[in-house]
Amino acid sequence: MKTEITPPKKPFIFYYLIVLLVILLINFLLIPQISQQQITQASYSDFLNMISSGAVKQVQIENNLITFSAEVGGQARIFQTGMMDDPNLIALLYNSGIEFTRVIPQEASPFISFLLSWILPLVLAVAIGQLLMRQFTKNMGGAGAMSFGKSNAKVYVAAQTGKTFADVAGEDEAKAALKEIVDFLHEPEKYKQIGAKLPKGALLVGTPGTGKTLLAQAVAGEANVPFFSISGSEFVEMFVGMGAARVRDLFKQAQEKAPCIVFIDEIDAIGKKRDGTMIGGNDEREQTLNQLLTEMDGFDSSKGVVILAATNRPESLDQALLRPGRFDRRVPVELPDLAGREAILRVHAKDVRTSENIDYRAIALATSGTSGAELANIINEGALLAVKEGRAKVEQRDLEEAIETVLAGYQRKNAVISPEEKKVVSYHEIGHALVAARQSHSAPVHKITIIPRTSGALGYTMQVDENEHYLMSRDEILNKIATLTAGRAAEELIFGQVTSGAANDIEQATKLARTMVTRLGMSDEFGMIALSTVNNMYLGGDTSLACSEQTSTRIDNEVMLIIKNAHEKALSILKNDQAKLHELASYLLEKETITGEEFMDILQKESTALPEPEEETSATPSDTVDEVNI
């Protein structure tokens, strides 16, 4: 089947240039051109003297202007002079035998005159106006900038969204909360008979990439109703009052097409708490929010207009927006659990040619804490890797490498690392793995590598839990901190000095220890007291202390004590298992990457005598290197 290729549209400036060229041609053809020869001004008396001397050869009279050619100094030249009221001029020219003529003014065609005088200037004015308007609209943020009072909502029908609940995996609780809305839109009479009212709005909250927008599209697809989609930032522009006008227009369109679903993404752009800091507390954003509150109160929910909104920052929303009667339901869209991650992987793998023996559960176990968007990216990265390796299907190893690519970056195969630095990295990573393996309540080692990654890590140790965990005991957290400090402890034990390779380990260990003291109540000194608050829990969960300066100092001392004890524990484990540390580090240095099975096989068999590194061997990486521990 032959595909017809539509040529790209030419810009409007192309057509403006064509019109300008036509005007120039008309001007050239219809308007007499002035002679390019040089014309000299002369007085009328000089004109008469030249006639008397016989120098004048030709004369042309046009209105009050006389143009004549005369021979001066043996050279023909052209002169111009003004016409005088001289009744004897014609007789003088005739008697002197001079060729003369009078130019009769020629009037252009009335149609051409009307075209050039009225139509052409009007067309040019409109064309230039359109060009300036388009340029101004582009500079002001898109086509919607000049559509005063009109909302930029994209309207989809079910066939365009093409999404149903079958396309949403790993969010069973969120789907269950939204299915009632779909059922109401399908059978409103069933609810009206008992007196139940449709919730006016549902607020989807969760971390980025969990599928809030996809859920809203799935609700519209399941209900088979029109779907209005708009971002909160599109309401607020530089023009005062435009946001409120757009809100009115959006709800007007929605009620005309009811039943329908209106989805406002990133509603925190217009729904932030009103604090009254502006003059009168009534800036453009607050006007937009007030109009939204008014519209949500004003429309009849029995018509089937449902407002869905999504945000990553629910704590920043105005309380008036969250009260019953506006956003009646708050639907958390959390990170998927183990079963959810496996289901999401299968959904995104439907359109990818995969091998029959793919173990999606193993991939799900290795991706704890990832969102649906990240899991989709892992499937895509695996497919790209399979193509790069020349395979027709995605295999298990492709997905495993894709996990490392998404979490730790691509391999830096061309990175040049000195043998001394590679030896330090090898002992560092085996230090992590060995301490993790020798402790109880610690996740099994899945993979160890010293191949550098684009994230900046010169190597990493991957631990994967065999089951999903929702709680962590105090012992488990302390063991994890000890594992994080084990890389630095191995460097101290073997080389007698430390490097910059433990930067990320130190950061993670400090964060865990501080969380134990300030949020989890796992400190012997403070007990069950919350000493910090969490901000933006869906956007990183940054914490801020809620205590006095004296208490803050005591917290720092407690955190330092926890990390110091964990470091001493790791150092003790490595000293007692130093032979295995040498053996495993040598094996990793040779292979560069080993699996958890290989690691455990060497660890569980009897030790073999290996020479310890020479005393002069040392390495001091010049740059700070972040460690990736999963």
Residue 400: CATH number of its domain: 1.10.8.60
Is the model more confident about 68 or about 17?
68
Rounded mean pLDDT, 24-28: 66
**pLDDT (0 to 100) of residue 152:** 56
Asked if residue 596 and residue 477 are part of one domain, the reply reads: yes
439, 498: one domain:
yes
Cα gap 563→439, rounded to integer Å: 16
- Tell me: pLDDT of 230 over 90: no
Domain final residue, candidates 64, 81, 102: 102
Quote the CA–CA distance of 506 and 518 in Å, as a whole number. 18
User: Residue 33 above 50 pLDDT?
Assistant: no
| Cα four-point dihedral sign 87, 90, 93, 96 | negative
pLDDT band at 111 (very low <50, low <70, confident <90, very high): low
Region 296-310 average pLDDT: 78
Q: What are phi and psi of 309, to 5 degrees?
A: -140, 155
Q: What are phi and psi of 100, to 5 degrees?
A: -140, 160
Question: Which residue in the block uniquely carries the two structure tokens 């014309």?
Answer: 39
Identify the pLDDT of residue 16: 65
Over residues 555-561, mean pLDDT: 93
Boundary of a domain, candidates 62, 80, 102? 102
Boundary of a domain, candidates 408, 433, 462: 408
Residue 429 annotated among the catalytic residues of the structure:
yes
pLDDT in tens, 151-166: 555 555 544 556 888 8
Same domain assignment for residues 613 and 473 = yes
Least confident of 306-310, 368-372, 412-416: 412-416
DSSP string, 43-62: -HHHHHHHHHHT-EEEEEEE
Distances (CA, A) of 403 to 367, 380, 408, 410: 7, 11, 8, 10
Is omega for the bond preceding 199 within 30 degrees of 0, making it cis? no
**Percentage of the chain exceeding pLDDT 90:** 24
Confirm whether 266 is domain-assigned. Answer: yes
**pLDDT of the residue at 5:** 42
Q: Let me know if residue 557 belongs to a domain.
A: yes
- Rounded to 5°, the CA angle 235-240-241 comes to 65
Identity at 593, one-letter amino acid code: T
Q: What is the per-residue pLDDT for 110?
A: 67
Q: Are residues 230 and 326 in the same domain?
A: yes
Q: Report helix angle 396-408 to 372-388, nearest 10.
A: 120
Query: For the chain, what is the mean pLDDT?
Result: 80
* Residue whose pair of structure tokens reads 């930029």 in the numeric block: 152
Q: Kindly indicate the confidence band of residue 249, based on its pLDDT and cuts at 50, 70 and 90.
A: confident
Query: 342 and 470 share a domain?
Result: no
Residues facing residue 411 across a β-bridge = 453
The answer to the question of residue 259 being in a domain is: yes
What are 77-81's contacts with CB under 8 Å, separation 24+?
77/38, 77/40, 78/35, 78/37, 78/38, 78/39, 78/40, 79/39, 79/40, 79/41, 79/42, 79/46, 79/47, 79/50, 80/39, 80/40, 80/41, 80/42, 81/41, 81/42, 81/43, 81/44, 81/46, 81/47
Residues 202 and 162 grouped into a single domain:
yes
Strand partners, 264: 230, 309
Kindly state whether residues 319 and 359 are assigned to the same domain: no
Q: Do residues 475 and 567 both lie within one domain?
A: yes
Contacts of 152 (CB under 8 A, 6+ apart): 142, 144, 230, 234, 246
Largest CA distance in the chain: 138
Q: Which position has the higher pLDDT, 417 or 240?
A: 417
Domain-embedded: residue 269: yes
Q: How many domains does the chain have?
A: 4
35: confidence class by pLDDT, cuts 50, 70, 90: very low
Are 403 and 428 in a shared domain?
Answer: no
CB-side neighbour CA atoms (13 Å) of 508: 20
Task: Tell whether the model's pLDDT for residue 430 goes beyond 90.
Answer: yes
Q: Does residue 21 belong to any structural domain of this protein?
A: no
pLDDT digits (tens, 9 = 90+) for 367-393: 888 888 999 999 999 999 999 989 999
Q: Are residues 457 and 540 in the same domain?
A: yes
- The Cβ of residue 592 has, within 10 Å, a number of other Cβ atoms equal to 13
Residue 13, in any domain of the structure: no
**Where is average pLDDT lowest: 79-88, 545-554, 614-623?**
614-623
| Long-range CB contacts for residues 24-33, cutoff 8 Å, separation at least 24 | 26/112, 26/116, 30/108, 30/112
State whether residue 598 is helix, strand or coil: helix
Give the pTM: 0.69
Range with top average pLDDT, 20-24, 133-137, 423-427, 453-457: 423-427
* Alpha-carbon separation of residue 234 from 149, 160, 200, 229, 246 (angstroms): 12, 22, 22, 11, 9
Query: How many Å apart are CA 333 and CA 336, to the nearest integer?
Result: 9
| Residues 270 and 348 reside in one and the same domain | no
Confidence class of residue 294 from pLDDT cuts 50, 70 and 90? confident
| CATH number of domain containing 52 | 3.30.720.210
With cut-offs at 50, 70 and 90, classify the pLDDT of residue 277. low
Task: Calculate mean pLDDT across residues 119-125.
Answer: 76
142 pLDDT more than 90: no
SS3 track for 334-374 = CCCCHHHHHHHHHHHCCCCCECCCCCHHHHHHCCCCCCHHH
**What is the band of 78 on the pLDDT scale with cuts at 50, 70, 90?**
confident
Q: What is the pLDDT of residues 317-365, one digit of tens each?
A: 888 888 888 888 888 998 898 899 999 999 999 989 998 889 999 999 8
pLDDT at 6 over 50: no
In order of 243, 366, 378, 485, the CA distances from 453 in angstroms are: 46, 18, 17, 21
552 or 109, which is more confident?
A: 552
Pairwise CA distance, residues 597 & 556, whole Å: 39
What CATH number is given to the structural domain containing 453? 1.20.58.760
Catalytic residue among 429, 558, 583, 627: 429
Identify whether 240 is part of a domain.
yes
What pLDDT, on a 0 to 100 scale, did the predictor assign at position 620? Answer: 33
Domain that holds residue 350: 338-408
Same domain membership, residue 589 and residue 473: yes
Residue 216 half-sphere exposure, CB side, CA atoms within 13 Å?
Answer: 28
d(CA 420, CA 491): 12
Q: What is the DSSP string of 481-498?
A: HHHHHHHHHHHHHHHSS-
pLDDT tier, 284 (very low <50, low <70, confident <90, very high otherwise): confident
**Mean of the pLDDT values across residues 481-500?**
93
Query: For the domain that residue 280 is a member of, what is the CATH number?
Result: 3.40.50.300
Has residue 426 got a pLDDT over 90?
A: yes
**Identity (one letter) of the amino acid at 271?**
G
User: Could you give phi then psi for residue 594, rounded to 5 degrees?
Assistant: -130, 150
Average pLDDT for 104-125: 69
